[in-house]
Amino acid sequence: MKKRLVVVLLSLLIISCNSNDDTLLNSSLSAYVTGKTTELGGVIACAASDMDNSDTVLTFYYPEEGATNIRLYETNTVNVDEKDFNNYVQKELNSDPVFNGYLGVFRQNIELEKWAIVTFELGNEIKISNPIRLKQKTKVTVWTAEVLMDLKQVGMPCFLWPDNAFGDNAIYFQVISDSQDNLLSGTYTFQNQFQYYNTDNVVLNITTQEPPNLETQTRYNFTLMDVSEDNWVNWVIQTPFEIP
């Protein structure tokens, strides 16, 4: 009787282990994309540590119009091959809207540094972000309101900030939004300056409609992200401004 009980328990244990392995395998990024049309780099995404709690990681992404089935995948540790999709497992998280849904963000507390990838489906393709190196322990995101502003040119404020102030910069992301948090302009530059309505130095523009004219004596907000080559945000500037 005891031998039969031991055999039954071992069998159940083996089934349980195989079931867990199958769950991990089926939830991997590799399993998700196998046999499907994909675009690597098709999702614009980055991550930052939260202003109030550095252990809270904010993974931002830009969902193109029509994007569905938005997912977040992460590795268990940072010491893996970030290009191997077998190392990524889906996180069961819902995202929150940013700039009233123009962007999205996954928010979670994470103890260990990892790699992350955001995906979504668009048309008949799975769009995949480049790997994001989470650095909430070794390079906490700096949040500030300090930026130089030139508001003299009517409706076309100019913003200037120190270049590569925290090292490891690859690109700058700027957003102009209104007092209701609606995104008016979203742009990327390599240079440490941006002027509203002037795209001469803009290398990527996610603004889908022509930006509206800025009105005088009206409050707006400027947001800047200093993004590294591995898509970690070193520095965030957030500050309100008003056209005189």
25 occurs within a structural domain? no
The CATH number covering residue 165 comes to 2.60.40.10
The CATH number covering residue 65 comes to 2.60.40
Assess whether 36 and 128 both reside in one domain.
Answer: yes
The predicted structure's pLDDT at residue 8: 34
Sorted by sequence, the CB contacts under 8 Å of residue 31 that are 6+ apart come out as: 25
56 occurs within a structural domain? yes
106 occurs within a structural domain? yes
pTM: 0.89
**Domain final residue pick, 133, 156, 181:** 133
71-98 CB burial, b ≥16 within 10 A, e <16: bbbbbeeeeeebeebebbbbeeeebeeb
105 occurs within a structural domain? yes
**Domain final residue pick, 114, 133, 152:** 133
Structural domains in the chain (count): 2
Assess whether 127 and 146 both reside in one domain.
Answer: no
4 occurs within a structural domain? no
27 occurs within a structural domain? no
Assess whether 123 and 98 both reside in one domain.
Answer: yes
What pLDDT, in 10s, does the model give residues 206-224?
A: 999 999 999 999 999 999 9
The edge-to-edge listing of strands for the beta sheet with 193-195 is: 148-150, 158-160, 193-195
21 occurs within a structural domain? no
Q: Range with the lowest mean pLDDT among 1-5, 100-104, 106-110?
A: 1-5
Assess whether 235 and 149 both reside in one domain.
Answer: yes
What pLDDT, in 10s, does the model give residues 3-62?
A: 443 333 333 333 333 334 334 445 899 999 999 999 999 999 999 999 999 999 999 999
**Domain final residue pick, 115, 133, 151:** 133
Q: Give the residue numbers spanning the domain of 113.
A: 32-133
d(CA 225, CA 163): 12
**95, 59, 90: which is closest to 74 by C-alpha?**
90
57 occurs within a structural domain? yes
Assess whether 207 and 119 both reside in one domain.
Answer: no
